[in-house]
Amino acid sequence: AQSVTQLGSHVSVSEGALVLLRCNYSSSVPPYLFWYVQYPNQGLQLLLKYTTGATLVKGINGFEAEFKKSETSFHLTKPSAHMSDAAEYFCAVSIIQGAQKLVFGQGTRLTINP
Amino acid sequence: DADVTQTPRNRITKTGKRIMLECSQTKGHDRMYWYRQDPGLGLQLIYYSFDVKDINKGEISDGYSVSRQAQAKFSLSLESAIPNQTALYFCATSDFRGTQYFGPGTRLTVL
């Protein structure tokens, strides 16, 4: 079975600082990996995804993530935080074969300090 | 217009009442999902449907039922609501690559 662990339920950074949100997964088959963002009072919006090919994936709003199979990780980064990045971020994994269901991590709330 | 819509957006009800949450999509996707979100728990899958004739239970289906009225419509029902069903509920659709697209959510409070 697949599972996702997000390290840190709450991360706080200063505006302009590096953002690093950690995600580790377990999967018995090659996974598809996703990062979603949820702004207050809104649904989830896809930030980026990894399916196959290049392991460094670029998404919207300057975010990127790197798939590291040896570390079973898919950490999300942004070089310079902006106040508008304050939101909750969810990592998710899905299997390719069979049912296409997403398994979500518990979420990380990102706070940006001025 | 939004691709995935949910009604109502907010609902307060009493224990024992029957509640229906509705979801409509204009993305033309066959796959639809219902999740609930609780603080600190992420999203948990309640039910999912891969086409009109296919309904599957998710991780936490007890106390819930669904109806897939058409490709574009997928409803979630709570037959007899209880307070621990107070949560944020999301509907989603999925394309063939597995990317899911979410509605804005329904905030349900059961008193």
Asked if residues A76 and A21 have their Cβ atoms less than 8 Å apart, the reply is yes
> In b/e form, how buried is each residue of B3-36, taking b as 16+ CB within 10 angstroms?
ebebeeeebebeeeeebebbbbbeeebebbbbbb
Contacts of residue B49, Cβ cutoff 8 Å, sequence gap at least 6 = B31, B32, B33, B55, B56, B66, B68, B74
pLDDT of residue A97: 53
Asked if omega into A30 is within 30° of 0 (cis), the reply is no
A3, pLDDT greater than 90: no
What is the per-residue pLDDT for B99? 85
Q: Determine whether the interchain pair B56/A49 forms a contact, defined as Cβ–Cβ distance below 8 Å.
A: no
More confident residue, A90 or A96: A90
Given this model, what pLDDT does residue B42 score? 86
Q: Tell me if B40 and A32 make a contact (CB, 8 A cut-off).
A: no
∠ CA B45-A25-A48, nearest 5°, is: 75
User: What single DSSP character describes residue A100?
Assistant: -
Angle at Cα A45 formed by Cα A31 and Cα A62, nearest 5°?
85
Amino acid at A88: E
Looking at beta carbons, which residues of chain B come within 8 Å of A44? 43, 90, 92, 100, 102
Q: Which of A46, A101, A107 sits opposite B45 (nearest CB)?
A: A101
Say whether B102 and A45 touch across the interface (CB within 8 A): yes
A62 backbone dihedrals φ, ψ, rounded to 5°:
80, 5
Q: Is B3 touching A (CB cutoff 8 A)? A: no
Is pLDDT above 60 for A98?
no
List the 14-53 stretch of A: residues with Cβ below 8 A of B.
Answer: 32, 34, 36, 42-46, 49, 51
The answer to whether B45 touches B58, Cβ cutoff 8 Å, is yes
CB contact under 8 A, A102 and B100: yes
Per-residue model confidence as pLDDT tens digits over A44-82? 999 999 988 888 999 999 999 999 999 999 999 999 999
- State the nearest Cα–Cα gap between A114 and chain B, in angstroms: 25
Q: Of A34, A101, A107, which is closest to B42 when you measure between CB atoms?
A: A107
Q: Are B69 and B7 in contact (CB under 8 A)?
A: no
Q: Tens digit of pLDDT per residue, chain B (111 long)?
A: 569 999 999 999 999 999 999 999 999 999 999 999 998 788 999 999 999 999 999 989 999 999 999 999 999 999 999 999 999 999 999 987 778 899 999 999 999
How many CB atoms lie under 10 A from the CB of residue B61? 16
Provide the pLDDT for residue A40: 87
